[in-house]
Amino acid sequence: MTVFAGIISLSNEKISSERKSIITRVFQQSCLHQNIFEISTDSSLFLSFNISEDEKGNINESSNSIATIAGDPLFRTEGDDRYNEIKSINSAEGITGLKSLLKKAKGVFSGVKLNNTSKSTFIFTDKLGIRPVYYYQYDDVLIYSSLMLFFENLPFVNLDTDFDGLCESLAFSFCLANRTPYENIKRLNGGEILFLNNNVVSVESYWDWQNIPVKSELTNDDVEDAYKLFDNAVKLRLNQGSEAIAFLSGGLDSRVICSQVKAHVDTLHTFNFSTGRSQDNEFARVFAENAGLVHHEKEFAKLAYPNWAQLIADGIKDIDHSLDKVTNRGTVWSGDGGSVAVGHVYINEDINNALINGDLPTAVEKYLLSTKINLPTRFLKKEYVQKTHRLLENTVAKEFLINKNDPAKAIYYFLMNNDQKRHLQVHFETICQHKVELHLPFFDSEFLATIYALPSHELLYHKFYMKWFKFFPSCAQTTPWQTYPKHEECPLKTPEGLSYQWEVSAKKSTNRRDDYDIYRQVKHARVFKQYFDSKKVFIAMTLHRLGIKDFSYLVKYFNQLNAIK
């Protein structure tokens, strides 16, 4: 578990000791630790902190270069380790050698390599950009970090708002492409390397999902091959110990992870965090009993987008005495990515058909409509309302990259490279607090390339998923699981009286006092005052607080604004 940051002068001018001192202090505060690794030259500063207690550490140094990795690239097939992969990255010859090496990577990672001899810097991320790395190029300096908080706390960083990024944050709860809410801070896209050479910054790609050939039909061998690749992805991530830890919900994604991991370890500890008498809670418990898992659960009256990693970190701490045989308690198996990657959630036949017919605008509109993604346009200041006209349609359309073999892959690419890329953003941003690393086999790039190559229509509504699911251990298939609306249903009888995660209540309950408190917190924020019509919002929230009209939907936007400095 690694976080890193650095600054480089693009004019070779000396960086003052005062500025370096500020950067070091802010990085220490961001990673909540004082004992950091530091390399300083007249025109650069590199900082790194390894959260885990890995004896080999997270740094590889040679006579002329240094490299560090957050996460695990997984070039290996077996018998190697992460530290040797960092060595391989450090010894790669130039941009060509690094590209060749990263093409082989199957894991989730980001990293940096500094070459003192050539004065070159390489900053990179995995093939989907799941592991974040941000960069800031302004006033002849390049600043980079795996933590956004680092930039937000640097007093000399220009945090002017990117309007497109702000609107995307409000609508999606994340930004698209390489954008952030800040005009001068970008995030590397999947399969990209930022290359600094002779003081010139460029961004190059080493991987392209768009050009993977897509098959015209699905065969039984394709389904079995996908299962074997997934099993390989699990085995590649296994530690040598006989016990492991995993998230377990009542759905399919964590279930296939747990059943497959359990096939390779003696004991699997599972954790469920949900509300009582829910499908999520009950289905997880029954499956755990049937599969012989050591199950731990914590019930909540209400779950409101918690930091799942912090929940499991606290849960692990509570049962620490019973985890003696777990070789790495800070690494947890997770089913993140499965519902979109394999189940094709958020994609429907209308979107696919529009893409196949070459009607991109209709496909985008149907996606935005089906996911109910929109902007609070009526509450923006007049001068910004016109700027929002078709803004989301245009920024989304640019991310719908068409595959010539299967145009419907455009929506899949969009979701994997945007929605899924940002899905774990809070987890990685707070990793210094919870100190939990994740095993993410659904994001194994070799497995995903195989899924990408399958015809789109066969993957809709969990159709392929259910064929694939039949190859998993029998314990996974003998108790009910929670399913998505309008997707393949569970063939087993579902007990009555259990709440359902996607059930739409006849009347949405809301605590108006809490909503108004959130509004009071955000109304003084810089971004709110700059872009929102304060009078209109005040009237709406007053009516809401008095119970005259429901404006609870605004709270979603307030929460996003609170996250922007």
Dump pLDDT digits (tens) for 13-32: 999 999 999 999 999 999 98
Q: What are phi and psi of 168, to 5 degrees?
A: -65, -40
Picking from 238, 227, 225, 245, the residue whose alpha carbon sits closest to that of residue 472 is: 227
Over the stretch 201-218, which tens digit does the pLDDT of each residue have?
999 999 999 889 999 999
Amino acid at 248: L
Q: What percentage of the chain has pLDDT greater than the value 70?
A: 97
Q: Is the pLDDT of residue 326 over 90?
A: no
Picking from 384, 538, 564, the residue whose alpha carbon sits closest to that of residue 554 is: 538
The answer to whether 477 touches 287, Cβ cutoff 8 Å, is no
The answer to whether 499 touches 539, Cβ cutoff 8 Å, is no
- Give the pLDDT score at 472: 97
Interhelix angle 360-370/349-356, nearest 10 degrees: 170
Return the beta strands (E) in 330-402 as ranges: 331-333
Return the beta strands (E) in 126-257 as ranges: 134-138, 141-145, 185-187, 192-197, 200-205, 243-247
Amino acid at 375: L
- Give the pLDDT score at 504: 52
Arithmetic mean of pLDDT over the chain? 93
Domain 210-503 CATH class label:
alpha beta
Measure the CA–CA gap between 437 and 427, rounded to whole angstroms: 9
The pair of three-digit structure tokens given for residue 128, joined into one six-digit string: 């989907």
The pair of three-digit structure tokens given for residue 153, joined into one six-digit string: 């706390």
Over the stretch 335-368, which tens digit does the pLDDT of each residue have?
999 999 999 999 999 999 999 999 999 999 999 9
Pairing of strands 141-145, 2-9: antiparallel
- Give the pLDDT score at 441: 97
Domain boundaries in the chain? Answer: 2-205, 210-503, 512-562
Cβ atoms within 10 Å, residue 408: 23
- Give the pLDDT score at 502: 75
**Confidence class of residue 79 from pLDDT cuts 50, 70 and 90?**
low
Characterize 179-214 residue by residue with b for buried, 16 or more Cβ atoms within 10 angstroms of its Cβ, and e for exposed.
bbbbbbbbbbbbbbbbbbeeeeeeeeebbebeebeb
**Confidence class of residue 302 from pLDDT cuts 50, 70 and 90?**
confident
Query: Which residue's entry shows tokens 């500025």?
Result: 19
The answer to whether 464 touches 458, Cβ cutoff 8 Å, is yes
Measure the CA–CA gap between 207 and 223, rounded to whole angstroms: 24
Pairing of strands 120-125, 65-71: unpaired
- Give the pLDDT score at 293: 97
The answer to whether 248 touches 255, Cβ cutoff 8 Å, is yes
Picking from 51, 34, 28, 6, the residue whose alpha carbon sits closest to that of residue 145 is: 6
- Give the pLDDT score at 80: 63
**How far separated are the first and last CA of the chain, in Å rounded?**
26
Q: Which helix (H) or strand (E) holds 262?
A: helix 252-262
- Give the pLDDT score at 507: 44
Q: What percentage of the chain has pLDDT greater than the value 90?
A: 83
The answer to whether 124 touches 102, Cβ cutoff 8 Å, is yes
Average pLDDT over residues 33-38: 87
Measure the CA–CA gap between 451 and 467, rounded to whole angstroms: 13
- Give the pLDDT score at 505: 45
Distance of CA 298 to the CA centre of its chain: 24
CATH 3.40.640.10 describes domain 2-205 = no
- Give the pLDDT score at 509: 55
Q: From residue 550, give the alpha-carbon distance in Å to each of 32, 532, 533, 537, 554.
A: 41, 19, 18, 13, 10
Over the stretch 509-551, which tens digit does the pLDDT of each residue have?
578 999 999 999 999 999 999 999 999 999 999 999 999 999 9
Over the stretch 89-141, which tens digit does the pLDDT of each residue have?
999 999 999 999 999 999 999 999 999 888 899 999 999 999 999 999 999 99
Cβ atoms within 10 Å, residue 139: 11
The residue among 420 and 454 whose pLDDT is bigger is: 454
Query: Which residue's entry shows tokens 């509300």?
Result: 275
Pairing of strands 134-138, 185-187: antiparallel
Q: Is the pLDDT of residue 57 over 50?
A: yes
Picking from 526, 523, 462, the residue whose alpha carbon sits closest to that of residue 491 is: 462
Q: Is the pLDDT of residue 244 over 70?
A: yes
Distance of CA 178 to the CA centre of its chain: 14
- Give the pLDDT score at 506: 37
Average pLDDT over residues 463-491: 96
The three-state (H, E, C) secondary structure of 119-148, written as one string: CEEEEEECCCCCCCCEEEEECCEEEEECCH
User: What is the 8-class DSSP label of residue 293?
Assistant: -
Average pLDDT over residues 32-50: 91
Please, what is the Cα angle at 225 between 219 and 228, to 5 degrees? 155
The C-alpha R_g of the chain, in whole angstroms, comes to 24
DSSP annotation string for 320-352: GGG-TT-S-TTEEE--TTHHHHTT-TT--HHHH
Measure the CA–CA gap between 37 and 4, rounded to whole angstroms: 9
Q: Is the pLDDT of residue 508 over 80?
A: no
